[in-house]
């Protein structure tokens, strides 16, 4: 079975061009086309494609919000942004929304196919310009994160390390010789200080900042 692709772009000519070329690939199947972000979300949930080629600027709902909703409802669907915009204000929100790929519309057809196949294989696929913006953003973000990390108490750091190791509150309580109620309090406090929405984000934060190595 080929890689199942959903194309989301409000320009008919762009969709037709992508369909025309990608259909020549024996291991790629076009399962649907969406004219706006809302339609992209609905079709993604209905068709369950492997990859959505997502435009950024579309009517009714833009590609960033569509990406966010698709990833919330089905994290297994991979999103590749295919857009004309390579600036920081578009790249970063797209990646933060859940896009695993970011390519420009002037990409060579063969390069697009390569990116699709590598994305299907689990690799992130970013255009060099997008990579530059992302690295710059992460550098600044890491600096801010280190400041937030300094606000944690020693015990909150211990709890964060246990969270990053995948332990439950009960397991953390046993490991640190404290009650589950105390663990919950520490978790609540560190999530607030780090501005993380949940334990998963906190675990990613911990890994990104090398907490497990300390």
Average pLDDT, 10 consecutive residues per value, the chain (214 residues) = 93 94 93 97 98 96 96 94 79 83 88 90 64 50 60 92 87 94 94 83 78 65
Residue 67 lies in a domain: yes
Q: Provide the number of structural domains found in the chain.
A: 2
Q: Are residues 204 and 173 in the same domain?
A: yes
Q: Are residues 37 and 94 in the same domain?
A: yes
Q: Any idea what the CATH number is for the domain that residue 186 is in?
A: 1.10.10.10
Q: Are residues 40 and 125 in the same domain?
A: yes
Q: Are residues 175 and 130 in the same domain?
A: no
pTM: 0.62
Instruction: State the pLDDT at residue 131.
Output: 52
Percent helix, strand and coil across the chain, each to the nearest 5: 60, 15, 30
Q: Are residues 72 and 164 in the same domain?
A: no
Residue 8 DSSP SS3: strand
| 8 Å CB contact between 126 and 134 | yes
Instruction: State the pLDDT at residue 136.
Output: 54
- Boundaries of domain holding 165: 151-213
Residue 28 DSSP SS3: strand
Angle at CA of residue 104, ends 44 and 95, nearest 5°: 55
Which residues, in sequence order, are CB contacts of 115 under 8 Å at separation 6+? 80, 101, 103, 107, 125
Instruction: State the pLDDT at residue 147.
Output: 57
Q: Any idea what the CATH number is for the domain that residue 104 is in?
A: 3.40.50.2300
Residues in the chain: 214
Q: Are residues 73 and 113 in the same domain?
A: yes
Q: How large is the C-alpha radius of gyration of the chain?
A: 20
Q: Are residues 8 and 65 in the same domain?
A: yes
Beta-sheet pairing, 51-54 with 3-8: parallel
């Amino acid at each position: 079975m080929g890689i199942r692709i959903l194309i989301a772009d409000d320009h008919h000519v762009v969709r037709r061009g992508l369909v025309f070329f990608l259909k020549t690939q024996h291991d790629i199947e076009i399962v649907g086309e969406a004219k706006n972000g809302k339609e992209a979300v609905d079709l993604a949930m209905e068709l369950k494609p492997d990859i959505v080629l997502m435009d950024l600027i579309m009517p009714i709902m833009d590609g960033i919000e569509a990406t966010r909703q698709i990833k919330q409802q089905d994290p297994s669907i991979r999103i590749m942004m295919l857009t004309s915009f390579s600036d920081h204000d578009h790249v970063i929100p797209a990646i933060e929304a859940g896009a695993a790929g970011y390519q420009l519309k002037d990409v060579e057809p063969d390069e697009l196919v390569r990116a699709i196949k590598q994305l299907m294989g689990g690799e992130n696929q970013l255009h060099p310009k997008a990579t530059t913006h992302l690295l710059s953003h992460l550098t600044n973000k890491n600096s801010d994160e280190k400041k937030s990390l300094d606000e944690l108490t020693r015990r909150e750091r211990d709890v964060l390390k246990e969270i990053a190791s995948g332990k439950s509150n009960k397991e953390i309580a046993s490991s640190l010789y404290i009650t589950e109620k105390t663990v919950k309090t520490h978790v609540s406090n560190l999530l607030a200080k780090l501005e993380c929405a949940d334990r998963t984000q906190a675990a990613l934060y911990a890994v990104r900042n090398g907490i497990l190595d300390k």
